[in-house]
Structure 1
Amino acid sequence: MTDTDVTSHAARPERFVVLDGLRGVAAFAVIADHVPSDLIRALIPGRYLAVDFFFVLSGFVLCHAYGERLKSEIRSLSFLKLRLVRLYPLYLLGIMLGALHLIYLSLFGYSETALSSFVPMAALSLMFLPVPSNISGVEVLYPLNPPSWSLIAELIANLAYAVLAPWLSLRVLIAVLIVSGLAVFHLVPNEPDLGAGWLLSDVHIGIARAMFGVFAGIAIYRARSAFNMPSVPVWLAVGLLAAILCCPVPEPYRRGFDALACLILMPAIIFFVQNAQASGRIAAIATWLGLVSYGVYVLHEPIYFWMRSVFGFLGLAQPFEVIDFPLVVVLSALAAWLASQFYEQPMRRFLRAFGRT
């Protein structure tokens, strides 16, 4: 997931407050994929599909914010720098929390990771690069903060968009969607579900999901002028997303449903909900959800790591398992909000200044 704020691009001031709110709802749903809770996972069996929603929304928002400028004004590497400036501050915070947790585990004998492995692992992570298994000892792309896999997948799709933008005719756009869609459809039968892309062995699945989702979002935004979609009620917008994430699909049909959700249902939500409006308290809640969504996504797993270690140190691990999920939700939301108020903007200013030197 990326920090594609749908309300703050000065060049294109149109607001998509409801989409912002849905991004926050999806971010909280992803927590259930990483915090063991049989009850919550049973309630949200398609929680990992929230990432496909993020990909489609990212393409929609980036086309809104940069589509015309990418055709002539912004070069692909400059666009990549813009994306990194937005993403890196919270990514860095998540990696640092994960690195400090690994140091803690090593010092107290809970991890066998040697300093000789930790240093290259941290160095690669700081450079936004995946960590080979011969260094980390595991197959996870980003062992210090596993959810970061979707960020690199989306950056690859964003870069592909920037490179293709000057020549992205309808024919080329359809070709990209067909190729990436067929890739997703072809890869699904090899997995129990579509919650893949975070391991070194299935990184190609994550890239295929990101490519299709981002370019589907671009196609939806480009089609806005041809389809004057009405505003739908907020409850319907939330209900559509919840229906996909919470749909109890029998195991034999899970892979087929996941492919349907990735290739059709998630893009359909963005298409039908794009003009949804909210006001008053509902708009304020949706705006807040959008504000914390990226932070919740990228910080929740290292926060969970630390929370379990603190409980274990205090001898409270077992009794507190029942509140793991709600506690991580609260702590992640708080951390994301604090970061948005006191950390992200100063870091982005620093990165912009650093990039000009």
Structure 2
Amino acid sequence: MGRLQTIDALRGVAALFVLLGHAATFFDLQHIPRFWLAVDLFFLISGYVLGAVYEPRFREGLTATAFMKARVIRLYPLYLVGLILGMASAIAALMLKRGDLSVWEFVVALLSGLLMLPSPTWTGTDSLFPLNFPAWSLFFELVANLVLALIWHRLTTPILLLIIAVSAAGMLACGDPGAGQSWSSILGGFPRVGFSFFLGILIQRHRRPSRSAGWLPWLAVTSVAAVLWLRELPGGALADFATVFLIFPAMLWLVAEREPKLGRIAQALGAMSYPLYVIHAPLISIITRGIVFFGHKPEPMAPWLGIATVLSLCGSALILARFYDRWARTKMERWIARR
């Protein structure tokens, strides 16, 4: 399987919407209505790509341990950058006595974060990853990866359909399409990742053959952006569930194997997507705290503050992808091999 440039574009646009959602005040916007649904698209794409890449390797003898090592090596170096940035923001807040964490809570959050585990509830914080809160989705991603590694040989189409149906029922029973990012909603995170991740695996098994390059993938990318931007839809949460259950899977099925025109732009969007996701929240926190420290507010600086922030973070993400990520993964792989 070659590089799927349309998936690169989808992933990049989803990461941009997460950034815009968390930096809404920099544009003097109350909120970006449905940006958080981008996480469900991430889970869906992850299932699709990992199924396509690793299921043949499992059949050739790849072990669950080797697979999980590969996943941690893929995720951890950039995750660590985000954690360090979150640590810097929290230390600055502690020194200024304006932080949300006590020294004890900070130490516990740091130690658990280094292991990519949620901060314990007894620290008094509801956030799973208080130093870099978007990392909650990486935790659930690794949970889904572990399930795939352990039972891949049993994941027949009927079993996949059963997992997807049970997960969808669990999401509806939870009633919160955005569940999973805090301790108070953590139980809803398991069916949330279960539905999209394993549906992605199912879709890739029956994917359409590749077609020649065209503009349809960009139409799909634009449609996804519109869905994430739309204001409150009739039906409230049901519309959000419909987006996750129907619209995202249909889009992936339609265009995943189609190559877009302007493929280099798609590749750049894909390259920046993960580093942008893991660094944006702590950097936004640092910028916001710096502005407040000097007695100002972000809103009067909009939209120029938002434009500058988005451009700077996207540039930083591309630099990390180009000059840090592959080097760090190679170093980590050699370090693990020596031990």
Q: TM-score, normalised by structure 1?
A: 0.87
Which residue of structure 2 lines up, in the alignment, with residue 124 of structure 1?
112
Among 62, 66, 71, which residue is 1:74 paired with? 62
Deviations 1:78-105 (A, max 9, x none): 2111101010011111111111111111
CA separation in 2, counterparts of 1:266 and 1:178? Answer: 16
SS in 2 for 1:45: coil
Contact kept, 8 Å, 2:37 with 2:228, in 1: the verdict is yes
Given the alignment of the two structures, is residue 221 of structure 1 paired with residue 207 of structure 2, yes or no? no
Among 140, 153, 163, which residue is 1:176 paired with? 163
Contact kept, 8 Å, 2:211 with 2:259, in 1: the verdict is no
Which residue of structure 2 lines up, in the alignment, with residue 344 of structure 1?
325
Indicate how the Cα distance of structure 1 residues 181 and 147 shifts in structure 2: closer, same or farther if over 3 A, else same: same
CA separation in 2, counterparts of 1:234 and 1:304? Answer: 31
Given the alignment of the two structures, is residue 283 of structure 1 paired with residue 263 of structure 2, yes or no? yes
- Taking every aligned residue pair, what percent have the same amino acid on both sides? 32
CA separation in 2, counterparts of 1:77 and 1:112? Answer: 37
Given the alignment of the two structures, is residue 164 of structure 1 paired with residue 148 of structure 2, yes or no? no
CA separation in 1, counterparts of 2:102 and 2:165? Answer: 45
- Once the two structures are TM-superposed, the CA of residue 173 in structure 1 deviates from its matched residue by 1.3
Among 247, 264, 285, which residue is 2:246 paired with? 264
CA separation in 2, counterparts of 1:95 and 1:259? Answer: 31
SS in 1 for 2:259: coil
CA separation in 2, counterparts of 1:65 and 1:79? Answer: 11
Q: How many residues align?
A: 334
Contact kept, 8 Å, 2:128 with 2:181, in 1: the verdict is yes
- Once the two structures are TM-superposed, the CA of residue 324 in structure 1 deviates from its matched residue by 4.2
Deviations 1:4-62 (A, max 9, x none): xxxxxxxx4x12111101110110001233223386566x4221111111111001100
Given the alignment of the two structures, is residue 142 of structure 1 paired with residue 123 of structure 2, yes or no? no
Indicate how the Cα distance of structure 1 residues 20 and 70 shifts in structure 2: closer, same or farther if over 3 A, else same: same
Which residue of structure 2 lines up, in the alignment, with residue 109 of structure 1?
97
Moved more, 309-318 or 15-24: 309-318
Look up the equivalent residue of 1:329 and give its one-letter code: V
Given the alignment of the two structures, is residue 306 of structure 1 paired with residue 293 of structure 2, yes or no? no
CA separation in 1, counterparts of 2:230 and 2:103? Answer: 45
SS in 2 for 1:162: helix
CA separation in 2, counterparts of 1:330 and 1:206? Answer: 31
CA separation in 1, counterparts of 2:10 and 2:30? Answer: 19
SS in 1 for 2:236: helix
Given the alignment of the two structures, is residue 27 of structure 1 paired with residue 15 of structure 2, yes or no? yes
SS in 2 for 1:343: helix
SS in 1 for 2:135: helix
Which residue of structure 2 lines up, in the alignment, with residue 241 of structure 1?
224
CA separation in 1, counterparts of 2:295 and 2:104? Answer: 31
- Once the two structures are TM-superposed, the CA of residue 342 in structure 1 deviates from its matched residue by 2.3
The answer for unaligned runs of 5 or more in structure 1 is 1-11
SS in 1 for 2:260: coil
Alignment root-mean-square deviation, CA = 2.0
The answer for unaligned runs of 5 or more in structure 2 is none
Look up the equivalent residue of 2:184 and give its one-letter code: S
CA separation in 2, counterparts of 1:112 and 1:17? Answer: 40
Among 41, 48, 52, which residue is 1:60 paired with? 48
Q: TM-score, normalised by structure 2?
A: 0.92
Contact kept, 8 Å, 2:126 with 2:184, in 1: the verdict is yes
SS in 2 for 1:277: strand
